[in-house]
Amino acid sequence: MRRRKIKEKISLHPVMTYLILCLIVIVVSGILSWFNVQATYNQISSTTGEYTAKTEVVRSLLSLSGLKYIFTSTVASFANFTVLSNLIIILLGIGVMEKTGFLKTVITLLTKKAKKTTVTFWLVFICIVASIIGDLSYIIFIPLSALLFLYGKRNPLLGIITAFAALTCGSGLSLLLTSVDSSLAKVSVLNANIITSSYGIHTTSFIFIMLVAIILVSFLITGITENIVAKRLDKYSFAEENVEEEIVTTHNKTRGLLLAIIVGTIYLIIFIYNIIPGLPFSGNLLDYSQELYIDKLFSYESFFRNGFVFIVAVFFVLLGLSYGIGAKTIKNDKDFVDSLGHSLNGIGKILVMIFAAATFINIIKQSNIGNVVTVALTNLLGRTSFSGLPLLIMLYLITIVATIFLPNSLSKWTIMATVAVPLLVNAGITPGFAQVVFRFGESITMGLTPIFAYFIVYLAYLEKYSQHKNISLFKALKFQVPYTSLVFVSFLVIFVLWYIIGIPLGINSPIAL
């Protein structure tokens, strides 16, 4: 007990940890730059299809120019930090749903007679499947998972930890190609074309292996949550409920729910109609300059991609507002405006944490350490004499390590594919299998690196709902270790068995050329 108290006293607040990490990166970048640490790889041109040498060097921040960069870019990096703007907009919608009682009513109805394990499983499964909407899933499901467990009379910290584990470990899992998978596939095929021009990756190329992985990981994360993590958390003390308020909500909730369902259904019909191509006046949210449907949805020019955060926020606001009007928890415009800001109450700490995280991520990106480490690891893969399954396992392990320093999937695969894809193609393995192993690998450590931009959302909400005020950055990481350890083994077993048995990755997608 005494040792535990000592640890709590010396436990650093996440903001201080981020500031210390900033100083460490500045010093390390200066030392590495002084020793001229660099790494060279062959970058392929998307226009000519030819390789050109590109050298990645560590940029020193422990210099006059480096310090100038830090002071001149810190404010801009915080203001342009996508996590900040997306979180605030989504919280407007969640605030209305929470304040009007919509979320509490719906969650109570869904969880009242359901087993704890069942609720956890469906949360995990939905979070994994939500990889199709990209990083926005972190902004939506981490706050909602806390409320799901809170209103279900369980520790909200457990909901946050579970959702983040499912979102990160499932970030590389999707039955159909996501926008990230589509971008990676273009890189894979481009590098494969150096050797063979007959290979392509389509929407259902990975559907079989992904289906198995999604189901297995869903059960695995659920088991870890219920049997390991839940037992490690302290008991959560729930606030006393307002009986009078509960009676009013119960009396009017049916009318509120019916109105919310009607309004929400109309909104979804309009929205879905506008992402279906080929119908009269439909598909207005798509980018028709792209070939694949997923690219039409999520290309940089797509209205759907650029407006998706606001689309979801408006949907949440409409659900909460219509429920509030029907249930009479919103009586006038003041009630509505107050509900918009409900989830933003006490957001000061979260803003400070986001500022510290944005500064750290900006500094480490500028240092270029992540790129240099990834190139060095890729060159190590290129010098190996392995072939076949040992080569796939080495790619898996190298991806796991590289993701800690460079979480961005496309940047990482652009570097690694120049070596990994030709090596595996020469070994008779398809570029698609290489991409699957890469996605498995980066999913392992995506939740274990504070360089990942959305890690701060997880950390901030642990801090928000902690009643013991001792959630440090390293403790947040520690919560994820049981998940990543067992998912690491499960992914390894899946692709090894797939290779040995020779099952196709998906429809018309063999593992061997």
Q: How confident is the model over 161-173, as pLDDT tens digits?
A: 999 999 999 999 9
Mind listing the pLDDT tens digit for each residue in 270-304? 989 988 888 887 888 888 888 778 788 877 777 87
Alpha-helical (H) ranges within 285-408 are 293-298, 303-327, 333-340, 348-367, 369-382, 389-405
- The residue ranges of every structural domain in the chain are 7-501
Find out whether 185 and 435 touch, Cβ atoms under 8 Å: yes
> What pTM did the predictor assign?
0.93
Q: Nearest 5 degrees, angle CA 16-CA 22-CA 24?
A: 105
* Structure confidence by residue, pLDDT tens digits, 1-19: 444 444 444 578 899 999 9
Instruction: Give the least confident one: 108-112, 166-170, 425-429, 495-499.
Output: 108-112
C-alpha to C-alpha distances, 265 to 110, 258, 297, 325, nearest whole angstrom: 19, 11, 21, 17
pLDDT tens digit sequence for 192-204: 988 877 788 888 9
φ and ψ at residue 251, rounded to 5 degrees = -65, -30
pLDDT band at 249 (very low <50, low <70, confident <90, very high): low
Average pLDDT of the segment spanning 414-443: 94
- The pLDDT score that the predictor gives to residue 1 is 45
